[in-house]
Amino acid sequence: MNTPLLQEYIERLSRLIQTESRSNGLPHNLQPIQLNALHFLTRANRYSNTPQGVTEYFGFTKGTVSQTLTTLENKGFIKKSPDKIDGRKVHLKVTRRGDTLLKKTMPSPTINDAGKELTKTQQNQLIDHLKQLLVEIQKKNGMRPFGVCKTCNHFQTKGKEKFFCGLTQESLNKIDSEKLCREYQHTNFESNTNS
């Protein structure tokens, strides 16, 4: 593999996405990481929509994540709510205002437009290859994979629209099952893209 060329392309793509994200956030006085955190929270299930989940997903320090979440909360893009079982735990919910902003900025309009130039097969192959690369990098760095709940080893179906997590021993609803989970463990075959 031509690793230097691969890294060059990934770095260039990342810079272009960050530049667009910076432009999208400027009218709201938001940095790219703040938009990214907001986007993650719309995709995170109840095990992941916490400050710890955000910290683990991005690999940032707790201080950076704390500042990011404080900014989003102060601007009305997220709301904190205590966990119903463990009051020490806080869940982060994206507000209507946050959803409105994300509909304009995520996914990246530039990537969306550029992706339309690829065939469906090319799009799927690109996603599969990037996913494989991401999984390998996460393994090498000891990071959690944050996969889609319903593709996890712990996921169990208990009837029509009834799901269960074998790890936490808790019932899951359909919405949680379709979102990213920090407790995710890879299955032998995955049909959904992980992040």
The pLDDT of residue 136: 87
Confidence of residue 121 (pLDDT cuts 50, 70, 90): very high
Q: Which CATH architecture has domain 3-110?
A: Orthogonal Bundle (1.10)
Indicate whether 194 pLDDT > 80: no
Higher local confidence (pLDDT), 96 or 183:
96
Contact 47, 92 (CB under 8 A): no
Instruction: Express as a percent the part of the chain with pLDDT over 70.
Output: 95
Whole-number pLDDT of residue 87: 81
**From CA 153, how far away is CA 3, in angstroms rounded?**
32
Q: Which residue has the higher pLDDT, 107 or 66?
A: 66
Report the first-to-last Cα separation within the chain, whole angstroms: 23
Q: How confident is the model at residue 109 (pLDDT cuts 50, 70, 90)?
A: confident
Measure CA 51 to chain center.
13
Q: What residues does each domain of the chain span?
A: 3-110, 118-181
**Per-residue pLDDT tens digits for 127-169:** 999 988 988 888 888 888 888 999 999 999 988 888 999 999 9
Structure confidence at residue 102 (pLDDT):
93
Whether 108 has a pLDDT exceeding 90, the answer reads: no
Cβ within 8 Å of residue 73, ≥6 positions away: 79, 80
State the average pLDDT over residues 8-22. 92
pTM over 0.85: no
Given a cut of 60, is residue 191 above it in pLDDT? Answer: no
- What does the pLDDT read at residue 187? 66
Residue 192, pLDDT score: 41
Mean confidence (pLDDT) of the chain: 90
State what percent of residues in the chain have pLDDT above 90.
Answer: 66
Contacts for 172 with CB less than 8 Å, ≥ 6 apart: 45, 149, 155, 163, 164, 165
